[in-house]
Amino acid sequence: MRNLFGMLGGGSGIGSKTAVVEEGMITEVNFDEKGARLWGFVKRARSTLRNYEEMEPVRGARLMLTGVDNHAVMASAQTDEAGRYEFVGLDAGKYHVTLQGTAMGFSVLRFSEVALGREEEKELNFTWPEGVIRGRVVTRSGGRPIAGAEVYFKLTGAPAAGMPAFPSMVRSDAEGRFEKGELAGGVVLVTARAEGHGQDEVEVRLAEGEVTEDVVLHLGGGGVLAGRIARADGAAEPFPGKMLKLFRPDGSPALPGLNIVPTEADGRYRIDGLPAGDVLVLALGMGLAPQMLPATIRDGETTTLDIAMQPGIVLELSVVDDEGHPVEHAHIAVRNAADFTLPLEESGLINKTGARYSVPLGREAYTLTLFCEGYQPVILSRDFRDAPTRVVESVVLPVAPP
Strands 313-321 and 390-397 turn out to be parallel
Check whether residue 368 and residue 352 sit in a common domain.
yes
Domain membership of residue 109 (yes or no) is yes
Q: Among residues 350, 172, 345, 361, which one has the least CA distance to residue 260?
A: 345
Q: Which DSSP string corresponds to 285-345? A: ETTB--EEEEEEE-TT-EEE--EEEPB-EEEEEEEEETTS-B--S-EEEEEETT-PEE-TT
In this prediction, what percent of the chain has a pLDDT beyond 70?
Answer: 82
Of the listed ranges 97-111, 136-150, 248-262, the least confidently predicted one is 97-111
From CA 182, how far away is CA 206, in angstroms rounded? 12
Check whether residue 9 and residue 123 sit in a common domain.
yes
Residues 377/75, Cβ–Cβ less than 8 Å: yes
354: domain CATH number is 2.60.40.1120
Higher pLDDT, 303 or 61: 303
Q: Among residues 145, 336, 309, 320, which one has the least CA distance to residue 235?
A: 309
Check whether residue 30 and residue 115 sit in a common domain.
yes
Check whether residue 206 and residue 319 sit in a common domain.
no
Predicted local distance difference test score (pLDDT) of residue 258: 52
Is the four-CA dihedral 102, 103, 106, 112 of positive or negative sign?
positive
Q: Among residues 133, 127, 129, which one has the least CA distance to residue 185?
A: 129
Single residue among 128, 152, 177 that ends a domain in this structure: 128
Residues 71/335, Cβ–Cβ less than 8 Å: yes
Check whether residue 135 and residue 231 sit in a common domain.
no
From CA 361, how far away is CA 159, in angstroms rounded? 25
Single residue among 276, 309, 342 that ends a domain in this structure: 309
Q: What are the pLDDT digits (tens) for 168-221?
A: 789 999 999 999 988 888 888 899 988 778 788 899 999 888 899 999 999 887
Residues 284/242, Cβ–Cβ less than 8 Å: yes
Check whether residue 303 and residue 325 sit in a common domain.
no
- Amino acid 233 reads D
Single residue among 309, 344, 368 that ends a domain in this structure: 309
157: domain CATH number is 2.60.40.10
Domain membership of residue 320 (yes or no) is yes
Domain membership of residue 254 (yes or no) is yes
- Is the pLDDT score of 399 beyond 80? yes
pLDDT band at 8 (very low <50, low <70, confident <90, very high): very low
Check whether residue 205 and residue 237 sit in a common domain.
no
Check whether residue 361 and residue 282 sit in a common domain.
no
Check whether residue 279 and residue 345 sit in a common domain.
no
Q: What are the pLDDT digits (tens) for 275-304?
A: 888 999 989 887 788 888 999 998 888 999
Q: What are the pLDDT digits (tens) for 359-375?
A: 989 999 999 999 888 88
Most confident of 13-22, 29-38, 356-365: 356-365
Q: What's the whole-number mean pLDDT along residues 50-63?
A: 83
Higher pLDDT, 145 or 240: 145
Residue-number span of the structural domain to which 210 is assigned: 131-219
Torsion angle, alpha carbons of 212, 213, 215, 216, to 10: 180
- Number of structural domains the chain divides into: 4
Check whether residue 92 and residue 12 sit in a common domain.
yes
Q: Among residues 36, 33, 42, 35, which one has the least CA distance to residue 12?
A: 33
Strand ranges inside 126-248, DSSP E: 126-128, 131-139, 150-155, 168-171, 177-183, 186-194, 198-206, 211-219, 223-231, 242-247
Residues 244/281, Cβ–Cβ less than 8 Å: yes
Domain membership of residue 379 (yes or no) is yes
Domain membership of residue 402 (yes or no) is no
